[in-house]
Amino acid sequence: MFRFPTQFAIGPVRVAPATVLAPMAGVTDTVFRRFIRNLGGCGLLMTEFTSSHGVRASLRARKPTRTLVKYLTFDPVERPISAQLFGADPAVMSDAARVCQDLGFDVVDINFGCPVNKVVRCNGGSGLLRDLPLVELLLREVRAAISIPLTIKFRAGWNDRELVAVRLARLAEDCGVAAVALHPRTREQGYSGQADWTRIAEVKAAVGIPVIGNGDVNSPEDAVRMVAETNCDAVMIGRAASSNPWIFRQIAQYLATGAYDQPSHQDRYRMMRTYYAMLIERDEPDKVGKMKQFATYFTHGVRHGAQLRAAIYRETEAQPILDLVDEFFSREVAAA
C-alpha cells in the first residue's frame, strides 16, 4: 500500500522494522526502552547520550561506574540496541567505544547533533560540526578500536550558512561508518522551526550506506511521507514517542492496513501503570522524579489530565502516585 522499507542493515545487524527510537537525554533509559520494545513496532533502540569520559572512567576504576550503571545498563529484550556516546577526544572515545562493545551492545553511535550549550562548549555534540578534521580523526580511531558497527547522528550544520550534512556523511562513509542518522535542523535552530527534509534526501543521494531520517515525525503519515520525499532507509522518532509511545506500532498498522488505532483511556491507563510499575520494580533511584516527568508526557490528550498531573506533582512517594493513577483512571474509564 505504501512504499516503506521493511528492514535495513547496520553492517551485520539486521533492523526490522525500519524504525528507530532516537536517543533522548532523561528519557530513553532501560525502563523506557523496554517499555517501547514491549509495545512493539520499533526496530532499533538507542541509549541516552552518554559521556565518553564517564564511560572511560570505568576502565581506570576497574569496576562499573555510575555512568555505566545509569546509562548503559540494558536487558537482552532490548536488542538490537545502540549505545550513543558524546565527546571530542579520539583516544577517550575509542576507549569508551571498546567498553560499550565489551558490555554487549550491537552498535556504537557517536553524537554530533546535541545543541545544548554545556555539551557544545566542550566541543561535543553539534560543536564538532565546525571541526571536520577532528571528526575524521575521531571516526577513524574509533572505527579501528571496535569490531561492531559504528554509526553517527548529526545535524545539518552549525547554521544555515555553515551546512555540512553531505560533506560529513561522505566523510563518515569513507571512515567506515555503517550508517548515518540526520536531524536536518541546524545547531542554531535548536528544536524550533521546521525540519528541512530535503537535506535528508541530499545525504541519501550522496552516500551508499543507510541513511536514517529524523525530525518532525509525529504520526504514521509523517513517517511514510518522509520515506517518500527523501528515500531514506529508516525513520527515527524522538519527542513524539515520549507522549505517544504507540507510534511505532501505529506505523506498522498503517503500513499493513492504511489505518491505525488511537489509544483509549483504558490503553493510556495500562501504559501509565505499566511504566510506573516498571520503575518501582527496578527501584530506580529517581523513580518519583521520573513518574512526575512522564506524567507530563503520558497525560497528553487525556481528559482531565491536568488534574492528575497536579496531584502527582504534589506527591513525594512512588506508591501513592501509583494509587492516584488507579483512582483517576477508574473514574475516567467508568465515565467514558
**Catalytic positions, written as ranges:** 114
Residue 211 to residue 213: CA distance in whole angstroms: 6
Let me know how long the chain is.
336
Q: Enumerate residues 6+ apart whose C-beta is below 8 A from 126.
A: 112, 113, 114, 115, 120, 154, 155, 158, 187
Closest by alpha carbon to 151, among 176, 168, 114?
A: 176
CA atoms within 13 A on the CB side of 146: 34
Instruction: State whether the Cα torsion 39-43-47-49 is positive or negative.
Output: negative
Residue 289 to residue 307: CA distance in whole angstroms: 18
Pairing relation of β-strands 150-155 and 179-183?
Answer: parallel
Beta bridge partners of 163: 157
Cα angle 24, 17, 93 (rounded to 5 degrees) comes to 40
Closest by alpha carbon to 129, among 175, 184, 84, 173?
A: 184
Using CA atoms, how far residue 63 sits from 52, 66, 76, 90, 262, in Å, is: 16, 10, 21, 22, 45
Q: Enumerate residues 6+ apart whose C-beta is below 8 A from 213.
A: 181, 182, 197, 200, 226, 227, 230, 232, 234, 235, 236
